[in-house]
Amino acid sequence: MEIALTPMEFARRARRLYADREAVVDGDRRFTYAQFLDRCDRWSTALQALGVQQGDRIAYIAPNTHSHLEAYYAVPQIGAVLVPVNYRLLPEDFEYIINHCGAKIVCAHEDYLDAIDGIRDKLTNVECYVALEGSKENWTDYESQLVSHSPDFTKVDIAETDLLTINYTSGTTARPKGVMITHRNAYMNVMGTLVHHHLTPSDRYLWTLPMFHANGWTFTWINTARGMAHVCLRKVEPALIYQLIKDEDITMFCAAPTVLIGIANAPEEIRKGAPRGVRLFTAGAPPAAATIEQVERELGWELTHVYGLTETSPLISICEPRPEHQNLPVAERAKIKARQGVEFVSSGEVRVVDEEGDEVANDGETLGEITVRGNVVMKGYYNDPDATSSAIKNGWFHSGDAAVVHPDGFMEIRDRFKDVIISGGENISSVEVEGCLLGHPAVQEAAVVGMKHEKWGEAPHAFVILKEGAETTENELRLHVRNNLAHFKTPQWVSFVEDLPKTATGKVQKFVLRDGKAGIARQ
C-alpha cells in the first residue's frame, strides 16, 4: 500500500522514537515529543468540533511560539490548510489575506487581538476567533480547548497533492499572492535538506527565522523528523539569541543575511562566551562574502548558504562544501560560500537560461534567469490563475533572479532583474556593489539602488549603516569600491542612514529607497 509523502509522517515517527526527548522550549514551558504531539492532536479534535473540514483554511497570526508550531501538525493532519500570516503586516493586509484565502478560523497571538477586532466586520468567512495567548471577549481560549478535548481526532485520508499550506508573499509592489504548497512539496524539501545537511537528535534548533516565512524553510518539520529540540524565539534580539545559544546548547539556526549582520555585530560583552561550532543556514538574499568571513572567523560558526523562494517550498540550491574548498584561505572560501551553489538532490532540475530559454555558458559572466521544475515547485497561486501562468511557463517556474554559472557549476545571483542598474548601457549588480561596501571595515550594512542620472540614465546610490563607533566618508567609500570593482560600478551617491527598510524576513525593501529617497540632495 502506498503512503502519501507528507510531513505528518515525521510526527508519527517522532512519537514512536523520541517520545521522551525534549521537543519544544518556549520560555518557561517545555514539552517532550509525547506532550507536544498530544497537544497537536487535542487541537485537531477541537478544530473538528468547531466544524473544520478537509480543505478548510485556518489563518495564524503569531510570532515563534509553541502554539504557532503546533499548528503545523494539528491543522494539516485533519486535511485542513494552514495559512501562516506575516504578523508584521498592517490590519488591512490581514483583512485582504484572510478574505482572499477564505479562512474559516483565525488564530492570533494576544498582541494582534485588537488588530483583528478592528476588522472583524470585514472578515466575511470567519466563523471562529481563537486567542492563542491572552484573553478577550468574543475570543475562544486556545489552552481551554486543549484541556476540554481528547487527542482522538477523526483521521482523514491525505493525498500528497493536497494543499498543506498557503504562504502569502510579502506583496511589496502589489497585493500579496498565496503560494500553494502541497504535502509532497514540503516533504521533498525536508528530505533534500536532510541529505545535504547532517542533523541528529542531539541537535537543538533556535527559531531565529519566522515560522510564517515559507514554513520556517520547513524546519517546522525538519527538526521533528530528526527528533531535535525546537527552541522558540519570539523576538529577534541579539542579546537574547546569544543567551539562548549558551543556556540551551543551541547547535543550529537559520537567518537572513541582514539578521545575521545584526547578530555578528553585537557588542563584545554580548558575544562573550558564545560557543564555537554552531551551524547555520543563511538565505533570503545573497549574503556578502565579508559577512560570511566575519561569522566564520570571529565567531567560529559554520555557515551554509542555501537558496530558494516561497514558490519552491522553498530551497532549490545549496552552496555545497567540497574537499577542494577546505584548504582555501577563509576569505577565498567565503567568496565561494556567497554563491547560491548547486541544485538540491530533491528540487528537480535547476537551470539558468537566457531570453530564448537556452542555458547560459558556465563562464561566470553570462547573465540569465534561474528557473526550476520538479517536486518542490508550488501548485500555483491561490485563486490567481493569471499570476500562476505568468510565473510557470512550459512547466518551468521563473524566479526573476539574475544569475551567472561558474565553470564548477555553481550559480551566483547578481541581482533581482528588477534591481539590476543599467548605467550608460552597462549592467551593474547592486548585490556586487553591496558586497564590496561590506568589505570596508566601517560598514555594517549597505543597500544599493539605481537612481535617475542626467548623463547615464541611472547610477548607483548606496545607503550605508556604519558600525558603532566607526567613521568614514562618502569619498572614502567611493574610492574603496573604485579600487575593487570596475570604475563604472562606483556609487555616484552615498547616504549614511541609521536603518534600512526591511520586510519581516530581513530583505531590504529597495523600492522604498528608490521611491522615498528620489528627491534626496545629490552632489
CA–CA distance, 257 with 358 (Å, rounded to integer): 31
pLDDT tens digits for 43-73? 999 999 999 999 999 999 999 999 999 999 9
At 432, give phi and psi (nearest 5°).
-65, -45
Helix (H, G, I), strand (E, B) or coil at 174: coil
Could you give the residue ranges of the DSSP H alpha helices within 134-231?
142-148, 183-196, 214-217, 219-225
CA–CA distance, 364 with 87 (Å, rounded to integer): 39
Look up residue 278 and give its DSSP letter: -
| pLDDT > 90 fraction of the chain, expressed in percent and rounded | 84
CATH number of the structural domain 38-181: 3.40.50.980
End-to-end CA distance of the chain: 71
Name all contacts of 234-242 with Cβ < 8 Å and 24+ positions apart: 234/63, 234/64, 234/65, 235/63, 236/208, 236/262, 238/262, 238/263, 238/266, 238/270, 239/266, 239/270, 241/206, 241/208, 242/266, 242/270, 242/271, 242/274
CA–CA distance, 193 with 315 (Å, rounded to integer): 8
Look up residue 341 and give its DSSP letter: B
If you search the block for the grid coordinates 529607497, which residue do you land on?
513
Average pLDDT over residues 4-29: 98
CA–CA distance, 475 with 299 (Å, rounded to integer): 31
Which pLDDT does position 455 carry in this prediction? 80
Considering the entire predicted model, what is its pTM?
0.89
CA distances from residue 503 to 239, 256, 506, 521 in whole angstroms, order as listed = 21, 11, 5, 26
Which residue intervals of the chain bear CATH 3.40.50.12780? Answer: 236-416
Could you tell me how many residues make up the chain? 523
Which pLDDT does position 173 carry in this prediction? 53
Residue 522: pLDDT above 60? no
Which pLDDT does position 519 carry in this prediction? 38
521 band by pLDDT with thresholds 50, 70 and 90: very low
CATH class of 236-416: alpha beta
Which residue intervals of the chain bear CATH 3.40.50.980? Answer: 38-181
268 band by pLDDT with thresholds 50, 70 and 90: very high
Which residue intervals of the chain bear CATH 3.30.300.30? Answer: 420-516
CA–CA distance, 184 with 282 (Å, rounded to integer): 24
Q: Tell me the pairing of strands 57-61 and 105-108.
A: parallel
Q: Tell me the pairing of strands 178-182 and 163-168.
A: antiparallel
CATH class of 420-516: alpha beta
Which pLDDT does position 250 carry in this prediction? 98
State the chain's mean pLDDT as an integer. 93
